[in-house]
Structure 1
Amino acid sequence: MPGIDECLLETMRLPGALGAALVDWTSGLALGTIGDSPGGDHEAAAAETAEFARSAAEHPVFIPCAADTSGGPLPLEDVFVATQEGYHLLRFVRTAHDSSIFLYLWLDTELGNLALARLRLRELAERLVLV
């Protein structure tokens, strides 16, 4: 079971990985970062992606019809944005307390494999140990 540092190191092994972070979307704080960041500032990127993630997670159109009884609200699995500079993938992580954490991966558009990245982030999110 990987911790934050091990999890982020594993994300950087994905083809085309430019940078990654583990972010608390309620506070906008990065719990860990690795590699590059869009705009060159990991803290600013964490705050901005947290705002985006929070907006998506709380939007009524994405809330499931059935109540989630397995550890708190987590209506989304992934959020994906494609830009000319790269792919941005956010994977929401279920936690025991409030599920307000997501893995953020920035991929090169030429070298990145979105399907592989999504599968790998899912696996890492399930195995991630937060203490």
Structure 2
Amino acid sequence: MSGIDECLMEAMVLPGARGAAVIEWTSGLALGTAGDAPNGDHEVTAAELAEIARLAAEHTAFGSAEENGAGAARAGVGPEHRADGERLVLAEPSARVPGGRDADVPVEDVLLTTRTGYHLLRFVENTLDSSVFVYLWLGRDDGNLALARLRLRDLVERLALI
């Protein structure tokens, strides 16, 4: 297990790393930052990235076909309803919020590309009801996106939020 500072230090040694942060996406607060921020302000970046994380985590478009009610849709039932015998019953929301071992997290990470860089958000899954993600900003010319995704996954698995 490693703490936030150790996680950020390890992220910053990745090829092309420009900046990193651990962000709580419900409030938009940065729990820790390292390196630079794309817009020069880590707090503004954290708030903006939290909006993206919320969209990815809370909307059903990013879940599996089964989670989104595709089977029900084929039967003429919308994703917000399920067939229960002869009647329709309001189903539980299919979007899953990252966190908790009982949650089925459809989104592992989010990748945004720009002309100059890659922005990678990786959700942290732990035993608490976590709403945290790790953000990594890579330069496009010298960043290795595949390596960054693998290493960030490993970092997040070892991250201890206390």
Name the residue aligned to 1:121. 152
Q: Deviations over 1:92-124 (max 9, x none)?
A: 110222231100000000000000000000000
Q: Is the 8 A contact 2:101 2:126 kept in 1?
A: no
Name the residue aligned to 1:110. 141
- TM-score, length-normalised on structure 2? 0.76
Q: CA deviation at 1:71?
A: 3.4
Q: How does 1:49-88 map onto structure 2 within 5 Å?
A: 49-64=49-64, 65=66, 70-72=101-103, 74-88=105-119
Q: Is the 8 A contact 1:11 1:121 kept in 2?
A: yes
Q: CA deviation at 1:73?
A: 5.0
Name the residue aligned to 2:17. 17
Name the residue aligned to 2:28. 28
Report the Cα distance in structure 1 between the residues aligned to 2:7 and 2:17, rounded to whole angstroms. Answer: 13
Q: Deviations over 1:62-97 (max 9, x none)?
A: 134368783335321010010012100000110222
Name the residue aligned to 1:8. 8
Q: Kindly indicate which of the two structures has a greater share of residues assigned to helix.
A: 1
Q: Is the 8 A contact 1:18 1:36 kept in 2?
A: yes
Q: Is the 8 A contact 1:19 1:106 kept in 2?
A: yes
**Aligned residue identity for 2:58:** E
Query: What SS does the corresponding residue of 1:18 show, helix, strand or coil?
Result: strand
Report the Cα distance in structure 2 between the residues aligned to 1:109 and 1:86, rounded to whole angstroms. Answer: 4
Report the Cα distance in structure 2 between the residues aligned to 1:47 and 1:123, rounded to whole angstroms. Answer: 25
Report the Cα distance in structure 1 between the residues aligned to 2:47 and 2:104, rounded to whole angstroms. Answer: 21
Q: CA deviation at 1:59?
A: 1.2
Name the residue aligned to 2:88. none
User: What is the RMSD computed on CA atoms of the aligned residues?
Assistant: 1.6
Look at both structures and tell me which one has the larger radius of gyration over its CA atoms: 2
Q: Is the 8 A contact 1:87 1:107 kept in 2?
A: yes
Report the Cα distance in structure 1 between the residues aligned to 2:101 and 2:2, rounded to whole angstroms. Answer: 22
